[in-house]
Amino acid sequence: MTAPALVLLGHGSSDPRVARISQRMKAALLEIRPSLDIEVAFLDHCAPSAPQVVKELALRGVTEVVLVPLLLSDAFHAAVEVPAVVAAIRAAHPDLRVLASRPIGPETSLLSVIDRRLRDVLRARRVSELDGLVFAAAGSTDVRSNAIVARRARQWATHHRLPCVTAFSVASGPTTAEAVRTLRGQGRRHIAVGSWFLAPGLLYSRQAELAYEAGAVAVSDPLGAEPEIAEVALVRYVVSAMELVDLGDDLGTEAEDLPARHLSVVGA
């Protein structure tokens, strides 16, 4: 039995560095599971789109596809755009079985990547003391999504036992620069910013620039295609691929007496 194809579905950007992160993610996943059929697609701003990629997969004879959104929250892009893409694919390919997994964020394990990125920049800038943190994310008009991201920020701050302000670049404040100024207003002078961004781009770059102008001593790089992220993407794929395994189609009524579905085909 052939495992479903995996399509890494990135947000997309006119900045070519964003697409390169998705390609590196594909390479990292192939190192873990070289037998998987893995492709890269984007929601907007750059090609190829998910419908284009799935069309090519269908022409190759693929019958099952799992889209894994490379998104760090379950806000608008995950809650609205991704389901719309899945619906369009199903309409164009009624014989194709396609599902979208949960986005990779806001997975708690990814906080360790922020720590590693932040240690790197602190070392490079020769910063040895911190008395405040900012957790910088893109943000959304979805209050629930922002609340989940803020919860991750609190977990991160609790781990480091430092005061932390959660910042959102769009839709709701405070911005990263405002968060830095808030901490400085409390008398803190050694403030570092942890970046909850997957890839570099205009939004991240501008927020980092303004954070330094506001007095931050360090701003971590985006998460990138780190092993932890590849592992989360693979787990998301496996869980969704299980939903495509329908034992009843092959085994008839006897399937009712069988144990729960297993991962012998698609297990990580």
Q: What percentage of the chain exceeds 70 in pLDDT?
A: 88
Amino acid at 222: P
Query: pLDDT per residue over 1-36, tens digit each?
Result: 589 999 999 988 888 989 999 999 999 999 999 999
Fold matches, 5-105+226-257 and 108-219: yes
Beta-carbon-side half-sphere exposure of residue 43 (alpha carbons within 13 Å) = 20
Note the Cα 230 to chain centre separation in Å.
Answer: 10
Position with higher pLDDT, 25 vs 248: 25
Choosing among 3.40.50.1400, 3.20.20.10, 3.40.50.300, 3.40.50.920, the CATH entry for 108-219 is 3.40.50.1400
Position with higher pLDDT, 150 vs 74: 150
Residue 38 and residue 43: Cα distance in Å, rounded?
A: 17
Beta-carbon-side half-sphere exposure of residue 63 (alpha carbons within 13 Å) = 6
Architecture of domain 5-105+226-257 in this structure: 3-Layer(aba) Sandwich (3.40)
**pTM, entire model:** 0.87
- pLDDT given for residue 76 in this prediction: 59
Query: pLDDT per residue over 56-104, tens digit each?
Result: 999 999 999 999 999 998 765 666 899 999 999 999 999 999 999 999 9
Residue 170's pLDDT band, with cuts at 50, 70 and 90, is: confident
Residue 73: helix, strand or coil by DSSP? coil
Query: What are the sequence ranges of the domains in the chain?
Result: 5-105+226-257, 108-219
How many degrees, rounded to 5, is the angle at CA 200 between CA 183 and CA 223?
75
Tokens of 183: 């901490």
Tokens of 184: 């400085």
List alpha helices for 60-175, DSSP H: 76, 82-92, 111-124, 143-160
For residues 26-53, average pLDDT:
95
Residues paired with residue 40 on neighbouring β-strands, in sequence order = 8
Query: pLDDT per residue over 183-206, tens digit each?
Result: 999 999 999 999 999 999 888 999
Residue 226 and residue 158: Cα distance in Å, rounded?
A: 23
